[in-house]
Each structure stands twice: as C-alpha cells, then as structure tokens.
Amino acid sequence: MYVFLDIYVFPFFSEVNRWGKLVFNAVAGSGIDTYRAYIDKLYEPGKYDNTGNFRSSDIDNWNSLNINKVFVVIHANNKPTAEIRFDIPPGTNNVNWFSPSYVSTNTWNDLTYSISDYRKFSIIGDRQRRFYIYKNYDFCSKLEKGWLVVVDAYTFDCKFDEADNYPVFRHSIDTMCAFNFDDYVEGETFSIFIS
C-alpha cells in the first residue's frame, strides 16, 4: 500500500522524511485498536500488515534511543491535516512524551503548553478515546471541546464517537471545537515519527 505524505511518496517501511523516522502508522477503519497496537505490539515490529498499519521496534527500545523530537501527523486526502511537534528531554518514555509541556509547534492557534489547561492530554486517554487532547467534558454538549481524539471503539454516547469502522482519527480545524456540533477533520492515517 502506498500512502502520500506531503511531497513524499513511499511504501511504508522505515523511511526518513521531514518529520524523521516513521515508528508508528495506523490506518482509519482498519479494525486495529490504535492504542493496543502502539503499546502491546499487535503486529510484528518493522512489518506492515495488509492494511498499512506499521509499528517499529523503536517504540520498545525508546529509552535506549537518543530521541529529541516526536511528531504526530494526521493525513487526509494525501495531505497532512494536523501536526504536533514534541521536543522531548532525556528520560521520557514511549508514553509520557505525549505532554503539553513538550509541545513546541502545532496546527492549532489555541493549544497551550500548560498541563493545567487540559482535562485530558494523554495517549491512554479515556476508555476508547486515545491520543486524547481535550479541554472539558459536558455530556456531549457544545461545552465539551477538544483538539484531537483517536476513537478505537464506541464506548461513549457522543456523536463523534460513532463510526462505521474503527479506528477513527478526528481533530479540530484551527481552534478547539465541540466535536458533536462543530466541523472537524477525519484523518485517514495517524503517524508517529521520531528524530
């Protein structure tokens, strides 16, 4: 399977591009639980499954690598639609790097760098909402707003948790949004790169 990443076209192996080395790729609607694939090695490291999902053994060897930057990139229609760059210090692991304290650049103009500004900013997230960046909960109302969510399965009653096939990768456009009421982008791939 070929996926277009900005100006780069490559069959997913372990190419290096402007974001660094690809260590994880999840494909929307593939039926693979994104969180479990990232944490639990659902498929053979360094090999692509038949839908384009990929997981590098670098995730397991995180602490022994000299990683300075991590990029999370979501693509739709063969173009990056959301990007977050994390400048991580020594001692971070393959989970705690995902923190607002380490964000250096991002797609949104209102994503702040203080952990106290978020209800959730976590890979683990909340039930089946993973890689979750959220401001507040309010029972699916207009006050429930966020920037990014990977939904691995239907476990909440909010409209944005519904999908025909999982996982789904949803993010706000320019600022945080109420996913149940505002426009959002639904990505086709969710990728993590290191350098």
| Secondary element (H or E) of residue 11 | strand 8-11
Residue ranges of domains in the chain: 2-194
Number of helices followed by number of strands (H, E) in the chain = 1, 14
pLDDT in tens, 103-131: 999 998 888 766 666 677 889 878 788 89
pLDDT in tens, 134-180: 877 666 777 777 889 999 988 777 877 889 999 999 998 888 877 76
Q: Are 59 and 38 in contact (CB under 8 A)?
A: yes
Most trustworthy range by pLDDT among 3-7, 28-32, 115-119: 28-32
